[in-house]
Chain A
């Protein structure tokens, strides 16, 4: 692994992995697809909601009165039947480690209906921050991008995962 000091690249620099600009406090964008497998296949093609499990630990080891902004953008289907554009403040109570639920402080896009929640199971020893948004029941084109503001190294703590479900914003059927 190259370990560079001050460097100048005159020309194009291509990074095939992630560009982790940690000193700014902002993570890189993680891109995911809406096309997901699902144990709940009603409606067909993995349901009407996309659930995303992020690497952020939903406890004081990553949060704890030191909130992280989660920013989400994206679209699903060729005509953008749903578009995502929201920011949520992720936080836990530093006293008792309880997770603050969905604090959507931003525009929610079009037909996105975002919901942020804490995983029921643990992954790598920790509960993780998850969210769900509306998707269309097809494997049409459409991507979703997520990045975090504050504590950017938390974004690389664990694997991402997605799953389709037939639940709704008001009736959570947490797959994770």
Chain B
């Protein structure tokens, strides 16, 4: 692995498969995900059958627990951008402040703005997972989606705590609730 000091590149700098971790900015690189879920629901509801649930839950690798992660009193900006379906029936451009209280481990996600969409906050949420994954509860993002495997991506990033980007696997699953899932 090359370990460079201050470097100037006269021309373009291209990353094709890896990521640029801009530690100086504290923001993570954008993480790209899809909306489609055809296999996770035990009752058989599936986006491939047009019977998918209306909300996509994105389980991030961020620990939502002060005990394990030490993120108490260290709020982070959490952003999502994206669209679902060919005509953008769902369009995401939302921000939150996500925080864990340092004294009592309480989780909070404050809605900051829905600066870009006519949908407002309907169908959006951020919560702490009820179960543990990799022995920690995780920050879960909820966005609305359409019950089809139409094209559509979402991108997620946050500030502070870049090291948690690979703390656990990402996961997505559709649910019929904005608050209960993982």
Q: Residues of A with Cβ closer than 8 Å to B?
A: 4-26, 65-67, 69, 85-87, 89, 91, 100, 103, 105-107, 149-150
Contacts and interface: CB of A to CB of B under 8 A. Distances in A.
Given A22-B15, A103-B88, A105-B117, A8 B32 contact: no
Given A18-B12, A91-B87, A105-B118, A12 B151 contact: no
Contact of B3 (A8, A23, A85, A91): A8
29 contacts: A4-B2, A7-B4, A9-B4, A9-B6, A10-B6, A11-B4, A12-B7, A13-B4, A14-B8, A14-B9, A16-B10, A17-B11, A17-B13, A19-B13, A19-B20, A21-B15, A21-B19, A23-B19, A25-B153, A67-B83, A67-B88, A67-B151, A85-B115, A89-B91, A105-B83, A105-B91, A106-B91, A106-B117, A149-B153
Closest CB pairs A-B (n = 9)? A11-B6, A106-B116, A17-B12, A7-B2, A89-B88, A20-B14, A24-B30, A105-B91, A14-B8
Contacts of B32: 24-25
Interface residues of B, number: 41
A22 to B, nearest CB: 6
Contact of A91 (B13, B18, B20, B86): B86
B14 A100 contact: no
A17 B15 CA distance: 13
B82 interface: yes
A106 B86 CA distance: 16
A41 to B, nearest CB: 34
B162 interface: no
A8 B155 contact: no
A13 B115 contact: no
Interface string B86-110: 1110010100000000000000000
Contacts of A65: 86, 151
Is chain B's binding surface mostly helix, strand, loop or mixed? loop
Nearest to B6: A11
A19 B16 CA distance: 11
Given A13-B6, A19-B13, A67-B151, 8 more contacts: A9-B4, A9-B5, A19-B12, A20-B12, A20-B13, A22-B16, A67-B88, A150-B153
Interface string B12-43: 11111111100010000111100000000000
B81 interface: yes
Contacts of B18: 6, 23
A8 B4 CA distance: 6
A7 B15 CA distance: 11
A163 B125 CA distance: 43
